[in-house]
Amino acid sequence: MLHSPVRLPTQRRRTSIPGVAFLVLLAGGSLCAVHAQFLRLGPFDIDATAGLDAIYSSNVDNVRPSEAEERMNDYFLVGRLSLNAKADLGKHIRLSSGFTLTQEKHFLRPDLDDRTRSDPFGKANISTDVEFGRYTLNLFYNHDSTYEQKEGQFVEGSRSKRTYRRTDDYGGRLSWRRGRLSWQAGIKAASDRYIEDEYQDGDQDTLDMDFNASWQLTKRIATFYGYTRSRKELINQPDSFEGWDESQRIGTTVLLLRRPNTTYSFAMVKQSSQGDDAGWEPAHTFSVSDALDLTKTLKLSGYATYNIKETEAVNDIGFTYGATLDHQLAQTARQRLQALREPADTFGSTVDTDSTTVGYTFTKQDLFIYNLTLTLGVQYKHSKPMGEDAGDPENTWQYTGDLSWTRKVSRKMDRVVNYKYKRERSNIQDEDLQEHRVTLSYKYTF
């Protein structure tokens, strides 16, 4: 069942982030100073921050030694300016927007400056909520351009090179509720674009639409109907699947237990995935979720969902879960164990990846002096591509260390000195990927 709004195809063109921010702010009207925020522009309350980072990286491209085409280490500066605006336009209309502009200056790798001069990194977003009667309408637009590896994607062959990516997504969601009846419909469009030739197989346009309705018959029993329709178009891969994936579900959910929250759903499901239509068939779903205080210092939270269907689609994962165990060792020390299994986006593919992750993190605050924080972590990840032409599974171990010292220079300025270490080992790579990074940061709040 789809929870995010929808994706309409977008053209491959440059987006002017300063232009978006200027239009958003211009709509506000006159300018006057206020005490609670940086400034007030018409009905907009605006907060502003500026930052400067001085960074040394032993692996600025985030590559393995044999993959390096230029020198790996670099010294560089990163400057950023962020503006956030909120406004209540009447009793039932709320508007929020944000804008961040980032510029880099490299000293040992001037080739990395070329793109930021012509197209600076940045983020822009605008969202509005409108309430009228029993209806609520949300409209949004987001832009993100960055020179980093995209998180949350399994990249077959473990391509980890730092790459420039531009993403735009926009859409809307309309919801209605009256007593025990409710429904909502959404649409979301998105486009991803990569500059480097070796990553342009990941250029894509996606479009998602969904409609969901429910009727709470009793406190424990509800009926529902859900419909989703989505398409992912890999624009540089003409042989990839370009059709629509569709799913319909109609059924009943029963609350079996309140603690832990345990539900059982029976539905008739019709699913079409990657061109295969299984027709209508029964499906059973068991779900459990809860948060428990095992002791005063030990907390467990998590969820699990198990699906049983006669015919599984190419992207189906029958068992998904997420769990976190938090242990407060002392007032300034804690450890956390996490486990997660979920479908993940596969870079350059219309088929998902079965991703399982287990991680451990230890955090110690005020290590030797106040505001000195040490974080150590280890993570194991098993990524299994799905589909008929799927490649070999990848197993990765990642080790991280983070030592950070924060100090307030003045009422409006903070300084942070940070050291990070990352090492990644993969079963399909002969070399480890590692980086040492030292950062001196200043942040000023206007």
Q: Are 263 and 255 in contact (CB under 8 A)?
A: yes
Give bridge partners of residue 228 from the DSSP assignment.
Answer: 210, 247
pTM of the model: 0.82
Segment 202-243, tens digit of pLDDT: 899 999 999 999 999 999 999 999 999 999 999 988 888 888
Specify the residue for token string 């002969």: 430
| Whether pLDDT at 162 is above 90 | no
pLDDT mean over 354-359: 96
Q: Are 176 and 184 in contact (CB under 8 A)?
A: yes
Using CB atoms within 10 Å of the CB of residue 383, give its burial: 0 to 12 exposed, 13 to 18 middle, 19+ buried.
Answer: buried
Closest CA to 102 of 119, 89, 125: 119
Q: 21-30, 48-57, 130-139 — which is least confidently predicted?
A: 21-30
Pairwise CA distance, residues 51 & 39, whole Å: 18
Beta strands in 235-332 (DSSP E): 245-258, 261-273, 276-293, 298-309, 319-330
Token pair of 14 as six digits: 């440059």
Instruction: Give the pLDDT score at 258.
Output: 93
Other residues' Cβ atoms within 10 Å of the Cβ of residue 298: 12
pLDDT mean over 142-168: 73
pLDDT mean over 408-418: 96
Q: Are 4 and 215 in contact (CB under 8 A)?
A: no
Pairwise CA distance, residues 159 & 67, whole Å: 10
| Whether pLDDT at 409 is above 60 | yes
Q: How far are the Cα atoms of 23, 215, 282, 304, 425 from residue 255, in angstroms, in the given order?
A: 48, 14, 19, 15, 44
pLDDT mean over 359-383: 97
Pairwise CA distance, residues 316 & 25, whole Å: 45
Confidence of residue 156 (pLDDT cuts 50, 70, 90): low
Q: Can you list the pairs that 402-407 forms with residues at least 24 positions away whose Cβ atoms lie under 8 Å?
A: 402/373, 402/374, 402/375, 402/376, 403/367, 403/372, 403/373, 403/374, 403/375, 404/372, 404/373, 404/375, 405/369, 405/371, 405/372, 405/373, 406/371, 406/373, 407/371
Closest CA to 237 of 207, 203, 208: 203
